[in-house]
Amino acid sequence: MVNLVDVFSDFKSGKNIDRPTMVRVLEDVFRTLIKKKYENDENFDVIVNTQKGDLEIWRVREVVPDGEVTDDNSQIAISEAHLVDEALEVGEECYEQLSIEDFGRRAIMAARQTLVSRIMELEKDEVYRKYTERVGDVVTGEVSQIMKKDLLVLDDATGNELVLPRTEMIKGDYYRKGDMVRGIIRKVEMRNNAPFVMISRTDPGFLEKLLEAEVPEIEDGIIEVKNIVRLPGERAKVAVESHDERIDPVGACVGMKGSRIHGIVRELRNENIDIINYTNNVSLFIQRSLTPAKITTIELDNERKRAAVYLDADQVSLAIGKGGSNIKLATKLTGFEIDVYRNNQQEFEIDDVDLEEFSDEIEPWVIEAFKNIGCDTARQVLELSVEELVRRTDLEEETVQQMVNILAREFEEEG
């Protein structure tokens, strides 16, 4: 009997391998050892006890009279059998226990090397299999290494290494070694004979899983998430539908005073999340998708999948959003190419001025601050109060007031 824990210290690397598989591998390794020494393993029993770390190898041969042995592997002379058990008689089976040392030091070392190699391969296969089954699940891990293009993350539950590419990080994400990070398992594949598990924080599925964790009605199937589109770290739109007419899906997802959505917004670096009530009415769905803008009229071209929406002047910038974010997401959410038009367009064609026209009077960084909040023209700035502009741009009130005065003076002069 040999204690495998002592002889094969690398067994600990097999912690992720189930017991039947471990037994099969051990048996295969030692049967290979037997074949090398005895040419075949037909008359040998290999018994493995992985709990205790015990291994027994038994050689089974038929007892025959002296001088009548024709096959050393299957037969043993009565005189030799008596050295094993004096009570044995001709015709009986002789069970002889072998010691692993009987195979020689070189053979043992080779078996050990083969065993460790097999266990490592099986462990890699097991990691690949388990994570493949978990694609789409949220994982939490600790940042272990920061590289130029990737972050290496140790799964908090298993200790396995995960990869978070910088391309899958939200704008504003910043991590140090030892920080905890959450993401969704997006892709699992074998690279260079090793499992590669990629996680993502930009995938729409990440937002869906966060919602599912915060909103019990989604997990219970009462509320269904129909579609999610994101500009990670900036804005997202989520279309939801309730299968219980008594439950408002938008209210359930947002929660009392935003209690359910606030935690998700913080996790996503203050990503602005619009929860929209899904409907099969395309016209109404497009109107809802452009929230917070209020549409006056909409014209649909179902064949070309295009929609022309008309809004009052003060709603146009809301419909388009900062850098076109709102209209881009609405287009993705609905599947319709959306064109925005002002009501009474002729009246406003020459009644506005791009902020860049004021670059001789206003510092470029100030203009950029206003553009960052979706105000690209003078009218768009003047439509908002000084207090609102200060809050949204985070500029000094004096700077904002000077800006407003310059823009207002432009229209007074035109008047």
DSSP letter assigned to residue 149:
S
What's residue 99's pLDDT? Answer: 80
**Beta bridge partner(s), residue 142:** 154, 180
Q: Is 202 helix (H, G, I), strand (E, B) or coil?
A: coil
- Residue at token pair 């050295």: 83
What is the distance between the terminal CA atoms of the chain, rounded to a whole angstrom? Answer: 104
Query: Model confidence at 384, in pLDDT bands (50, 70, 90)?
Result: confident
Residue 204 has pLDDT above 90, yes or no: yes
Residue 14 has pLDDT above 60, yes or no: no
Q: Is 178 helix (H, G, I), strand (E, B) or coil?
A: coil
Q: Kindly state the helix (H) or strand (E) to which residue 106 belongs, with its residue range.
A: helix 105-133
What are the two backbone dihedrals, phi and then psi, of residue 99, each rounded to the nearest 5 degrees? -100, 145
> What token pair was written down for 187?
């892709």
Least trusted range by pLDDT, from 6-20, 41-55, 56-70, 202-216:
6-20
Query: Model confidence at 53, in pLDDT bands (50, 70, 90)?
Result: low
Angle, CA 316 vertex, CA 314 and CA 319 arms, to 5°: 125
Query: Model confidence at 156, in pLDDT bands (50, 70, 90)?
Result: very high
> What token pair was written down for 255?
């929660």
The average pLDDT across 45-55 equals 72
Q: List the domains of the chain with CATH numbers.
A: 2-130 (3.30.1480.10), 135-200 (2.40.50.140), 203-278 (3.30.300.20), 350-414 (1.10.150)
270: left (phi over 0), alpha (psi -120 to 50) or beta: left
What's residue 7's pLDDT? Answer: 44
> pLDDT per residue over 80-117, tens digit each?
989 988 888 999 999 988 887 777 778 778 777 777 77
- Alpha carbon distance 337, 411 (integer Å): 34
The DSSP-derived string for 283-319 is HHHHHHHTTTS-EEEEEEETTTTEEEEEE-HHHHHHH
pTM: 0.65
> pLDDT per residue over 235-283, tens digit each?
999 999 999 999 999 999 999 988 999 999 999 999 999 999 999 999 9
Residue 3 has pLDDT above 60, yes or no: no
What's residue 345's pLDDT? Answer: 47
The DSSP-derived string for 345-400 is HHHHSSS--BGGGGTTTS-HHHHHHHHTTT--BHHHHHTS-HHHHHHHH---HHHH
Residue 347 has pLDDT above 60, yes or no: no
What's residue 378's pLDDT? Answer: 85
Contact 63, 74 (CB under 8 A): no
> pLDDT per residue over 288-306, tens digit each?
999 889 899 999 999 999 9
What's residue 18's pLDDT? Answer: 66
Query: Model confidence at 12, in pLDDT bands (50, 70, 90)?
Result: very low
